[in-house]
Structure 1
């Protein structure tokens, strides 16, 4: 018998994904300009109280960039990129943080995700609800078949790694505000029961 359960909670943290992306005539200039942007980015994050441990990033990557194809292509320069994941619990300050990060030299924001710190506890509750839903359904079928529900013989997760989904909130905050909405953690299960007559 299949059952699903979900738990919704207010987000307790956000992950912002800024990236530095520069194009310069030489590798040295590209590395220098990207390095300066990264340093400014780190300084802004520290000013916002984001510890270095809450920032994970890639190394500076360098690639040649061309315009055109085959023999007609021309070298545009050298592109240097670095992307970061910044985790913060200061949700009320999130819009200001993003604006300051962009002002400091982040050339784009690749995403903003909301999450909860205690996801394992929410997942446990979602699994309990999934089992309860499967049991209720099995009870109805057993009664309709003039049988009694016996013990559980089999339990199987439908998904090996249940994930948290973000549900945006339509209300709250001024127009254009980053409204975090709710994080939903769901689980699905298949239970096998014995039947007694």
Structure 2
């Protein structure tokens, strides 16, 4: 119609507007570069002379009934504890660690129609003794056996103050990690940067027996040997 105003649509590019909005509101985050790092494990061991021990011994008794086996075991263990007390072991250093009662069956017979029958009951009781003076270790073993302990499960040695030896192992472990990192960086043609993180791996447990030295007990010959303390660390270095 000649009187109708004409309307014109104007198409403007949207890119500048979107760019302006992006600048105004911060826009999408720029992708960050992955930090260049190298991760190595360092390990070190130091030896220390133990100054305390742990004895695990016990009494095993067998009787026709469960009640008789337990009664005989209790009596024998009472004598064991009395012997330990007479040998100077404090009550806090002797602790019952395990008590078991098991049925004993007759030997298996091939072709037997009936299942094996119970012929006896066996009771076993274990006691763990901490020995704070290693000079008394042999005498304590004699006291245990002489009082009725018929099972000796083992002797473990330990260090009462392991911190100085562990700290020395930790320093050596970090130095071991750095030496490995420097070697890897040189082989890869990169420059080793600063330390990013250090994490100690504590999953190795306590000190472990390493080797025996000289016998030191007056009664039963027992060698205290040495124990080895281990430190393991994970070190992350930056690389350039």
Tell me the TM-score normalised to structure 1 length. Answer: 0.85
Q: Where in structure 1 are there 5+ consecutive unaligned residues?
A: none
Is residue 2:70 matched to residue 1:28?
Answer: no
2:53 corresponds, among 1, 7, 14, to 14
Structure with bigger strand share is: 1
State how 1:32-43 maps to structure 2 within 5 Å. 32-43=71-82
- Alpha-carbon distance in 1 for matches of 2:76, 2:229: 36
Deviates more, 1:178-187 or 1:74-83: 74-83
1:65 corresponds, among 100, 104, 122, to 104
Matching residue of 2:83: 44
1:172 corresponds, among 195, 209, 214, to 214
Alignment RMSD (CA, Å):
2.4
Q: Where in structure 2 are there 5+ consecutive unaligned residues?
A: 1-39
Matching residue of 1:151: 194
The 1:68–1:161 alpha-carbon spacing in structure 2 relative to 1, beyond 3 Å, is same
- Alpha-carbon distance in 2 for matches of 1:58, 1:188: 31
Matching residue of 1:116: 159
Per-residue CA distance 1:7-41 (angstroms, 9 max, x = gap):
21111111111011100122232122111111111
> How far did residue 112 of structure 1 move?
0.7
Matching residue of 1:190: 234
Deviates more, 1:186-195 or 1:67-76: 67-76
Matching residue of 1:53: 92
2:140 corresponds, among 78, 97, 121, to 97
Report if aligned partners of 2:215, 2:224 keep a CA contact under 8 Å in 1: no
Bigger Rg over Cα: 2
2:119 corresponds, among 72, 76, 85, to 76
- Runs (4+) off by over 6 Å: none
Report if aligned partners of 2:80, 2:144 keep a CA contact under 8 Å in 1: yes
The 1:33–1:165 alpha-carbon spacing in structure 2 relative to 1, beyond 3 Å, is same
Question: SS where residue 71 of structure 1 aligns?
Answer: coil
- Alpha-carbon distance in 2 for matches of 1:162, 1:128: 18
Number of residue pairs the alignment of both structures matches: 194
Matching residue of 2:175: 132
For CA contacts below 8 A with separation 6 or more, give which structure has more relative contact order.
Answer: 1
Report if aligned partners of 1:31, 1:60 keep a CA contact under 8 Å in 2: no
Report if aligned partners of 1:162, 1:187 keep a CA contact under 8 Å in 2: no
Question: SS where residue 114 of structure 2 aligns?
Answer: helix
